[in-house]
Structure 1
């Protein structure tokens, strides 16, 4: 092994080489703060919305007309097939971790007037719930993973056809039958991704409150021996999520006092919820009874109230976890940093 020695650059050429290298490099700028990235993302979102409105009005539509050729059409068909295979990949609006690395980071300065808070965020698997019409004309719901868009669960549900919900499948869904609803992208064919966060969460709660849970299959089994050993009334397995449960949200104004005394404690607390067991259960002793369950918390989500739904990771939503992430920052931001 050896290392080649570089010939020294004559002093009279050094300045020219340095200027040449700098000319080829992009101008150096300081990294944008989270607040600056957020502002830029919101402006880009507004600009894109304006362009979509113009396109819907057929403004400048002639500029996009072209005859094309067969090769281009073949490429379009191939591209469409690839897009269909991953149509639900990275569609969920994924929040950035709240940053406190510089004096410009931290809680948004307009927290009181410009943000919506969701708390507590449940522990579980982030996914999209998409509804289809089945062969028997009943609506079936399919769950797709957040990152790769892979389908991992299919079941009957009371949701209307042609709906898409941003959800968290509870970590103990086989025990409590719960799937949590974070956000709404589409409901019964009507798209809500261009709507502001305030309206989306209101619509989410108003519509989900109207649906009647679809009873699980009568073939559901219960492990009464295990329940006796644990001395608690917990069914062994739900075949599919039974209850669509919206995550609580808080709308502006959210004063700092309210944030510290109401929102943060709610984000830290295990949420208690009563699941009403369906009357179609095989055991008459369990039919119509209720199951008290505790929902573990994973932290707090903040959404820019005037922002529309943005797929992928975005500064328009911010996450404050309950505990440090594995392999995360050396000085992690958690809910414990905020005390009344």
Structure 2
């Protein structure tokens, strides 16, 4: 039976609160939007009152939301473009929006989500400013410095700038753009993914993808995550090597760090690397994880807030010379991972050593759980198709409740 013909929804043991965190993320977005609108109304009202009251001796002070202050400070890319060395790497390493791994199938997958084939390659931020274009990897290290057709990316003109979220695909020297953050100085951080994707395609068409330059820019083809869209993303031909599927909630804003509103999923048919390999490119017998060491000896994920997987003995920490914030490698032993009500209760960890120095972050909780599920009870493409079919059937089921006039 073909995957898209399945009708029975797939039920898995609850090992995550991913759906609850998705709902909380959307609630925070809505509140942030309301705060920004209130701030704009206050500003507009104050300007009008100042025009009517020329005798005012001092301008009133406003309280801006901590989120909006943090947002304006963190994403001043014109100042960040002047940073050098380690300082620049630290700043850029914190800017990318990182997808969680799909542990559970989201609610309303067919109506609220997009899907597309993720290009294999180097994930990076591309910033054009001051007549030059620079790409930086996920750890903040510089990848390329070049001239481009992006706004203010090839010839110094004005103070505008552009920020793209890309995957650099080396075989065809192309930056495949998976998201648009800023264009000509216009910030799209608080715009929905639905709007950002529309804007991205129209703006890349204007510059022709930069075909006259050393590197090209090309948008990926994004589908609605219905039966046809999921099938096209999963089996359709693309001009790049696939590395899994990316799912975007249509209402998601662009936010730095891990988010449950963007999800990555893989299997052997759409990715060469489903199970993590070791430094030699081999699949280890036991799953390996990278966790960050805290002051109290706890080892945690990169999430905010972090998820604690265990605790190292203080004598062991002192004897091995480990320091706070070190990234450490562990193997998950035969005891595996134990869950209760969607939360991790216990992990059988075995210390292996310090992580590669090139790494900037520990693993996320969702990545660890996805990799664990791949080895024991994987979430398969049939389950995604079945979830869409089940959702469609529920939406098409007539309501038995009568309307009372």
TM-score range, shorter chain: 0.5 to 0.7
**2:15 & 2:265 partners in 1: Cα distance?**
22
Is contact 1:270–1:297 with CA below 8 Å preserved after alignment? no
Change over 3 Å in CA distance of 1:32–1:46 after alignment to 2: farther
RMSD, matched Cα: 2.8
> 2:110 matched to which residue of 1?
112
**1:96 & 1:332 partners in 2: Cα distance?**
16
**1:300 & 1:186 partners in 2: Cα distance?**
24
User: Structure 2: which 5+ runs fail to align?
Assistant: 1-13, 44-59, 65-79, 153-160, 269-273, 277-286, 288-370, 387-405
How many residues get paired? 228
Change over 3 Å in CA distance of 1:109–1:85 after alignment to 2: closer
Change over 3 Å in CA distance of 1:98–1:32 after alignment to 2: closer
Q: 2:231 aligns with which of 244, 261, 264?
A: 264
Match status 1:41 vs 2:58:
no
Q: How far does residue 39 in structure 1 lie from its aligned partner after superposition?
A: 0.3
Q: How far does residue 55 in structure 1 lie from its aligned partner after superposition?
A: 3.0
**1:145 & 1:113 partners in 2: Cα distance?**
33
Q: 2:100 aligns with which of 89, 96, 103?
A: 96
**1:35 & 1:61 partners in 2: Cα distance?**
40
> 2:67 matched to which residue of 1?
none
Match status 1:333 vs 2:392:
no
Structure number with greater Rg is 1
- Report the TM-score, using the length of structure 1 for normalisation: 0.60
Mean alpha-carbon deviation: is it higher for 87-96 or for 35-44? Answer: 87-96
Q: How far does residue 89 in structure 1 lie from its aligned partner after superposition?
A: 1.8
Q: How far does residue 311 in structure 1 lie from its aligned partner after superposition?
A: 1.4
> 2:146 matched to which residue of 1?
155
**1:166 & 1:336 partners in 2: Cα distance?**
30
Q: 1:319 aligns with which of 242, 261, 264?
A: 264
**2:89 & 2:173 partners in 1: Cα distance?**
29
- Encode CA deviations 1:50-109: one digit per residue, 9 max, x unaligned: 223333444794457xxxxxxxxxxxxxxx98976633223121111111xxxxx32x22
Is contact 2:88–2:140 with CA below 8 Å preserved after alignment? no
Match status 1:131 vs 2:128:
yes
Change over 3 Å in CA distance of 1:39–1:196 after alignment to 2: same
> 2:203 matched to which residue of 1?
207
The DSSP-based 3-state class of the residue aligned with 1:193 is coil
- Encode CA deviations 1:3-51: one digit per residue, 9 max, x unaligned: xxxxxxxxxxxxxxxxxxxxxxxxxxx9862111100111112112222
Is contact 1:170–1:180 with CA below 8 Å preserved after alignment? yes
The DSSP-based 3-state class of the residue aligned with 2:198 is helix
Is contact 1:167–1:181 with CA below 8 Å preserved after alignment? yes
Q: How far does residue 338 in structure 1 lie from its aligned partner after superposition?
A: 4.8
The DSSP-based 3-state class of the residue aligned with 1:198 is helix
**2:15 & 2:266 partners in 1: Cα distance?**
24
Q: How does 1:1-340 map to 2 (within 5 A)?
A: 33-58=17-42, 61-63=61-63, 86-99=90-103, 105-106=104-105, 108-117=106-115, 119-134=116-131, 140-146=132-138, 148-161=139-152, 162-172=161-171, 176-212=172-208, 213-216=210-213, 240-241=214-215, 243-251=216-224, 254-255=225-226, 257-258=227-228, 262-272=229-239, 295-323=240-268, 324-326=274-276, 327=287, 328-329=371-372, 330=375, 331-333=377-379, 335=381, 338=384
